[in-house]
Amino acid sequence: MPVAGDYRCFSDDWRRTNPDLVLFLPRQPPQFVEAVDHVLVDVTPGGDLLAVWTFGAKADASDQTVLYARSEDGGRTWSRPGEFDPPGPKYGQVACFGFPVISRTGRIYVFYNKAAGVGTNYTSSFLRCSYSDDDGRSWMPGNVDIPYRRSLLSHPDPSVGTNALVWQKPIRDARDRWLVGYTEWSSLAAERPLAVRKPDSSAKDFNSECRCGFMRFDNIDEGPEPRDAQITWLPDGNELISVPITTDPDAPADLSFCQEPAVALLPDDRLFTVMRTRNGQIWYTVSDDHGRSWRPTEMLRYSDGASPLENPVSPTPLFRLRDGRYLQFLQNHDGWGHGAAGPTDSTRTRRPQFISVGEFRPAAHQPIWFSEPKFLFDTDGVGVPPFYRPWLSMYASLTEHNGERVLWYSDRKMFGLGRFITDDMLAGMTVPS
C-alpha cells in the first residue's frame, strides 16, 4: 500500500504545478491507471481533515478501490491510507468514486460505487456505504447496496447497476439537506440507445448519451444506519437534465451530452449548477424549487450577453465561498488547442488550469456573473508514466478551515496535492456589475 505524504515517489514531477501541500504520492513502480482520482477532502466533526479518493495500481483498473486518510495539522501530514472495500474475486467487482456525507450527529458516511462485475464496465454500479462514529479513524461496513434511480438511460434489468457516478462533495440546500449531483450514461440495452447509435466508428461516442441528476439525503442528519437512509432523486419524473450537442450537425436533436454537475446554493435559496459538455463551453441551469425542476440549460457566460466560459470535456468544479463569492475552475479554451482533435480529446485538452471569481447578481437572467479567468497552473504538456498523459483533470474539492482556503486536486491522476487559494490571489479579479 502506498504511503501518504511519502516523498520517495517514483517521479519528482509532482512539483510541476507548484503545490503547497501533498496528500498522496505513489511510490511503487509506475504501473498505475489512476493513482489519485476524485480527490474529496472535508472537515470532520472533530476539526481534522478527511480525504477520500479512488486508487488503482493496475493499468487495467481491475483493482480500483477507495482510500481514505486523515490529517490533524491542516493537510501538512497525512495518515497512512486505509481502504474501504477491496476488489472482489470476479473481474470488475471494484469500488470507486467515494464521497463523504457528514451527519450532524457526528457520524461520517462515505458512499461509493461498487460494481458487481455485470454490465458494461465499472460504472455499472450500486451505491455502497461505510460509516464512522469516531471522526473517521475507524470504519464499519454499511452492509447495503443502494440502487441508483432508474431512468430511460438505464439497463432494463434492475440487477445490472446504473452507469452513474458522483464526483463532488454534497452541499446543503436552502432547507439544510445534503444534496449532490451525479452523471448517468446510457446503457446500450436501455430504451433510448437505438435512437442515438450510429453504425460508423467515427460517431461511436454517440453511444454514450449522458444526463445529470441529483440525490438528496433527507434523514442523514439523524445518523441512520445506511440501510435506513432516505434518498430523494431529483429532478422529479423520469427525465434528467440534458444539454444538446451543438457542435455536430449529425447529432440527433434530442441527444444529450452533459456530465459532472457542480451545484451551489444561491443567496435567494435557488440552486445553480454547471456541467461539462462536448460543445466547447460550460453550460448551466437553475432550480427555484429545491431541485424538483430545472430551467432549460444554457451556455454559461461571464455576464448576461457576454462571451461564454470555454471548456472542453473536462471537469468544471464550482464552489461557494464563505464570503459569498464563487470560484469556477475551467480550462479557458474550447478544446481546439494543444494539438487536440476537439473538445472530447481529453488527453490533450485538460490543461492549463484557470480560475474565475463569481458573484451573485439577483436581477440578472444568469444569477452568477464571473471575472475574467486567471491562470492557476499547468503541466507544460509533460506527462508521467505509464501513459504520459499531460492532463489536469480537476476532480477536485475545496476546504476553508482554520483560516486557510485549499484546493485539493489530482495532478495527471497520479499525485494528490493541495494549493492555497489566497485572498491576494483573488484580488483584482473584478466581476461585472
Judge if pTM exceeds 0.85.
Answer: yes
Q: Residue 137 class from Cβ within 10 Å (0-12 exposed, 13-18 middle, 19+ buried)?
A: middle
Beta-bridge mates of residue 143:
none
Those residues whose C-beta lies under 8 Å from the C-beta of residue 375, and which sit 6 or more positions away, are 352, 353, 354
Q: How far apart are CA 100 and CA 86, in angstroms?
A: 18
Q: Are 42 and 171 in contact (CB under 8 A)?
A: no
Over its length of 433 residues, how does the chain's per-residue pLDDT go in tens digits?
Answer: 333 444 456 778 999 999 999 999 988 765 777 889 999 999 999 999 999 999 988 777 788 899 999 999 999 999 999 999 888 777 778 899 999 999 999 999 999 999 876 655 566 789 999 999 999 999 999 989 999 998 888 888 888 888 899 999 999 999 999 999 999 988 766 666 544 444 443 343 444 789 999 999 999 999 999 999 999 999 998 889 999 999 888 788 888 999 999 999 999 999 999 999 999 999 999 999 999 999 999 999 999 999 999 999 999 999 999 999 999 999 999 998 767 778 888 888 999 999 999 999 999 999 999 999 999 999 999 988 878 889 999 999 999 999 999 999 999 999 999 999 999 999 999 999 9
* Percent helix, percent strand, percent coil in the chain, to nearest 5: 5, 35, 55
